[in-house]
Amino acid sequence: MGKKVLVVDDDANILEILKLYLEFEGFSVFLVKDGGLALDIFRRIRPDVVVLDLMLPGKSGFDLCQALRQESNVPVLMLTAKDGLEDKLAGFRLGADDYVVKPFDPLEVVARVRVMLRRGAGNAASAPALDKIGSLEISMETYEVRLDGKAVQLKPRELQLLFFFRQHQNKVFDREQLLAKVWGYDYAGETRTVDVHIQRLREKLEYEGCGYRFKAVRGVGYKFEVDP
């Protein structure tokens, strides 16, 4: 018998298409349409992976994910019709391991299920790698930031700006470039919003001797400067 996958979604078409593709790849697939029944079925079959829609009747995907995490480290793949960072953050905080946005290619779901099984999600040895700069720890997988071991609460756009700067550290960007890369090319707001968000990052993350700084470059823009 192949690895067991529990798929929880109230859309019958999604259930059937995922069942078809997952079974073709050798998985044993169990389908549930009601979030209120999913936890009981999970306890009975003990699947190796849970594919979980966030919007469910009976019990929401968020509630179900939280309940699963109270008793199991089973890998959880979220299915969501919303591409908003807030929903992803909420799911990760409740213990989800990955997400796919609807509409999706069922082959992508199969691939992500395989990746999670390889990782052995939930085991200490496979915990997400942390990017460390001094006492600052950044996880781009779980959208978490810690300073001196304590969680720092950043708003979604602050997180995105920090991630972008870290990936392009020591490079200077003007405000228009940052708006295009972080806020998106269709953003119609003022460039001053960049200044406001960088100031918030400074207040939350910078301190003397930390080894990094959000530096203003006169007449140009900003860079995330990291000491060698």
Give 181-212 pLDDT, tens digit per residue.
887 755 666 778 999 999 999 999 999 999 99
Residues 100 and 46 in one domain: yes
Q: Which of 74, 102, 125 is the last residue of a domain?
A: 125
Of 71-80, 134-143, 206-215, the poorest mean pLDDT is in 134-143
Residues 121 and 208 in one domain: no
pLDDT at 124: 37
Residues 200 and 172 in one domain: yes
- Is residue 128 scored above 50 in pLDDT? no
Q: Which of 94, 125, 156 is the last residue of a domain?
A: 125
Instruction: Please state, in angstroms and rounded to a whole number, the distance separating the CA atoms of residues 162 and 145.
Output: 10
Do 191 and 206 form a contact (C-beta atoms < 8 A)? no
The model's pLDDT over 84-101, given as tens digits with 9 standing for 90+, comes to 666 677 777 778 888 888
Residues 87 and 195 in one domain: no
- Is residue 105 scored above 90 in pLDDT? no
Residues 6+ away with beta carbon under 8 Å from 158: 197, 200, 201, 204
Do 15 and 23 form a contact (C-beta atoms < 8 A)? no
Residues 158 and 103 in one domain: no
Residues 34 and 97 in one domain: yes
Residues 13 and 121 in one domain: yes
Q: Which of 125, 160, 192 is the last residue of a domain?
A: 125
Residues 89 and 18 in one domain: yes
| Cα→Cα distances 170→160, 165, 167, 212, Å | 17, 8, 10, 10
CATH of the domain at 155: 1.10.10.10
pLDDT at 130: 66
CA atoms 126, 129, 130, 133: torsion sign: positive
Do 27 and 21 form a contact (C-beta atoms < 8 A)? no
Instruction: Please state, in angstroms and rounded to a whole number, the distance separating the CA atoms of residues 42 and 29.
Output: 12
Residues 86 and 145 in one domain: no
Please give the tally of structural domains in the chain. Answer: 2
pLDDT at 122: 45
Residue 228 corresponds to which amino acid? P
Instruction: Please state, in angstroms and rounded to a whole number, the distance separating the CA atoms of residues 192 and 221.
Output: 11
Count, in order, helices (H) and strands (E) of the chain: 8, 11
pLDDT at 126: 42
- Is residue 127 scored above 50 in pLDDT? no
CATH of the domain at 107: 3.40.50.2300
Do 115 and 173 form a contact (C-beta atoms < 8 A)? no
Residues 177 and 65 in one domain: no
Do 117 and 48 form a contact (C-beta atoms < 8 A)? yes
Residue 180 belongs to domain spanning: 131-226
Look up the pTM and report it: 0.56
Residues 44 and 121 in one domain: yes
Residues 54 and 141 in one domain: no
